[in-house]
Amino acid sequence: MAGAGGGNDVQWCFSQVKGAIDDDVAEADIISTVEFNHSGELLATGDKGGRVVIFQQEPESKNQPQCRGEYNVYSTFQSHEPEFDYLKSLEIEEKINKIRWLPQKNAAQFLLSTNDKTIKLWKISERDKRPEGYNLKEEDGRYRDPNTVTTLRVPVFRPMDLMVEASPRRVFANAHTYHINSISVNSDCETYLSADDLRINLWHLEITDRSFNIVDIKPANMEELTEVITAAEFHPNQCNTFVYSSSKGTIRLCDMRASALCDQHSKMFEEPEDPNNRSFFSEIISSISDVKFSHSGRYMMTRDYLSVKIWDLNMETRPVETYQVHEYLRSKLCSLYENDCIFDKFECCWNGNDSVVMTGSYNNFFRMFDRGYRQDVTLEASRENSKPRSVLKPRKVCTGGKRKKDEISVDSLDFNKKILHTAWHPLDNIIAVATTNNLYIFQDKLN
Amino acid sequence: CCDIRSLEVEDKVISPEKAEEAKLKARYPNLGHKPGGSDLLRKRLQKGQKYFDSGDYNMAKAKIKNKQLPTAAPEKTEITGDHIPTPQDLPQRKPSLVASKLAG
């Protein structure tokens, strides 16, 4: 079957791969987040070493009108650094948990990046001209002897090689006792939320010394703790609405107009479970690792360990669609618990028109589900399929019985090769897929 | 939908998930009876904790008071119990000075 993704005739091709080829992966190089900006022109990655790399799409060249522009490095900077909280004996990792772009308002680009404790607003701006002809300074910056100045001239701007500068404009710190898992910019473009395991805070982008707590699920007695917040997101166009997911598989939708503290949800989305099927693993695998609204705002998607679910915001009782990502892992849960893989947090994403959803799996496989055509496909991000514009061949996992040629058996899957982070261009069929330390860019085949 | 045959073998057919649970309980008989509950969650909340709390610190201080103070720097790997960590002992985590390989 041809690759699913916006029609049943879409074929995905390799475009680019970024990162080192060697197998010896330094911890700092582990990619921890991937995000396109609102136009898709920029693609940001964050890593465990606290660094952000931004790629920019080259404009389509006139020579090759059938090819979309490549993504090349635009800017890179150290966003967060490791810290030690002496008071709590807590090591604060510099790993970038999430990056979220602000919609563009002027020539500069802005993004929010966060580690476990601190959110920062970064401004990325271009400089392509510089003033020359100062009266009191030489071209290299040294001050001239005022006695040598005999004439006055007006400095002029002259073109220079493009320089992209990243500067931290705001630091939002000291508002989270627990580890931040999500940030989400409001559609009002003035506020954003940050969520940790037990609390969600609302910030104004201009104000760093204050934030409002809008959700607090910390029990008075920590012995009674039964669930934590796993992800949160603002609605794409209703600025009063946000959702947060939990480790128990529930999603709560809150309306900030209802009260200052949104501990009482407006809607609670939960799929009923058959009590006969309950096992030790049930709650762990029902924990939601990601929640994303559709671009339309009508639906939301959740990712739990084995599946992706689409929910209609108008129906709380069960999802409208459920897609199995790797159901064959259900009979491997014991070993996946022992090697901690059962706690892996996979993300998910929508394509631009909400017709296809994508998520990662193991063995560097990733999956796409076409909601309209009811088709799904498994593709692989690997250097072996990295000839320019080569079409990706669908992969198949053999779940039992005789293994066909080209299939891979469940026991041969490499659980160290996990694709946790994927992103889809907001307008085009271009996807960014992060393996442990490499970033793959795939595009659909243009004829 | 049930047919007579599947009803007969119902007792013997265990879901793959329950089979995995049985495997786990066989390997770890003392595994907590609250699946996915407080223990797991609290472990998650405590990620990054390098040292135990001040109780541990005071216990260690009390023990050392009765011994001679060590002259050599204690091994950096001993971080709890008898050893009192000081800021100087903490492994200095420096930010990566190397640029990301994605930008290379």
Rounded Cα distance between A329 and A307, Å, is 11
Amino acid at A424: W
Chain B: residues touching A (Cβ < 8 Å): 15-21, 23-25, 27, 31, 35-38, 40-42, 44-45, 47-53, 85, 87, 90, 93-96, 98-104
Q: Residue A164: inside a domain, yes or no?
A: no
pLDDT of residue A106: 95
Q: Residue A215: inside a domain, yes or no?
A: yes
Distance from CA of B16 to the nearest CA of A (A): 5
Q: Residue A136: inside a domain, yes or no?
A: no
B15 contacts: CB under 8 Å, gap ≥ 6: A277, A279
Q: Residue A166: inside a domain, yes or no?
A: no
A45 touches chain B (CB under 8 A): yes
Partner-chain contact A334 B20, CB within 8 Å: yes
3-state helix, strand, coil in chain A (%, to 5): 10, 45, 50
Q: Residue A245: inside a domain, yes or no?
A: yes
What is the helix (H) or strand (E) element at residue B16, kind and residue range?
helix B16-27
- The total domain count for chain A is 1
What Rg value do the Cα atoms of chain B yield, rounded? Answer: 26
Distance from CA of A147 to the nearest CA of B (A): 44
Distance from CA of B69 to the nearest CA of A (A): 23
pTM over 0.90: no
Q: Residue A165: inside a domain, yes or no?
A: no
Q: Which of A28, A222, A281 sits opposite B21 (nearest CB)?
A: A281
Distance from CA of A245 to the nearest CA of B (A): 15
Rounded Cα distance between A65 and A70, Å, is 13
Distance from CA of B89 to the nearest CA of A (A): 12
Contacts of A84 in chain B (CB under 8 A): 50, 90, 93
Nearest to A364 by CA among A383, A350, A347: A383
Partner-chain contact B17 A281, CB within 8 Å: yes
Using DSSP's 3-state secondary structure scheme, residue A425 falls into coil
Amino acid at A262: C
A69: CATH:
2.130.10.10
Give the domain range for residue A391.
32-114+174-444
Q: Residue A232: inside a domain, yes or no?
A: yes
For residues B19-40, give the mean pLDDT: 77
State the pairing for strand pair A182-185/A156-172.
unpaired
Complex ipTM, two decimals? 0.76
Count of A–B CB contacts within 8 Å?
136
A27 touches chain B (CB under 8 A): no
For residue B5, pLDDT beyond 70: no
Q: Which of B19, B36, B51 sits opposite A89 (nearest CB)?
A: B51
Distance from CA of A157 to the nearest CA of B (A): 30
Distance from CA of A326 to the nearest CA of B (A): 14
Rounded Cα distance between A53 and A127, Å, is 18
For residue B37, pLDDT beyond 80: no
Rounded Cα distance between A387 and A394, Å, is 16
A271 close to A309: Cβ distance less than 8 angstroms: yes
pLDDT of residue A421: 98
A47 touches chain B (CB under 8 A): yes
Contacts of B101 in chain A (CB under 8 A): 19-20, 29, 437
Partner-chain contact B90 A84, CB within 8 Å: yes
Contacts of B94 in chain A (CB under 8 A): 82
pLDDT of residue B85: 63
A159 close to A210: Cβ distance less than 8 angstroms: no
Partner-chain contact B99 A287, CB within 8 Å: no
Q: Residue A220: inside a domain, yes or no?
A: yes
pLDDT of residue B81: 55
Q: Which of B15, B38, B53 sits opposite A223 (nearest CB)?
A: B38
Token pair for residue A308? 């992706």
Q: Compare all CA atoms of chain B with the CA of A330 and give the residue at the minimum distance.
A: B17
Give me the average pLDDT of each 10-residue run along chain A (447 residues). 53 95 88 98 97 95 74 97 84 95 97 98 96 88 88 94 96 96 98 98 98 96 92 98 97 96 94 90 96 98 98 98 97 95 97 98 98 95 88 91 85 96 97 98 87
Strand partners, A370: A356, A375
Q: Which of B16, B44, B104 sits opposite A228 (nearest CB)?
A: B44
Query: Taking CA A98 as the corner, what is the angle to CA A92 and CA A102, rounded to the nearest 5 degrees?
Result: 130
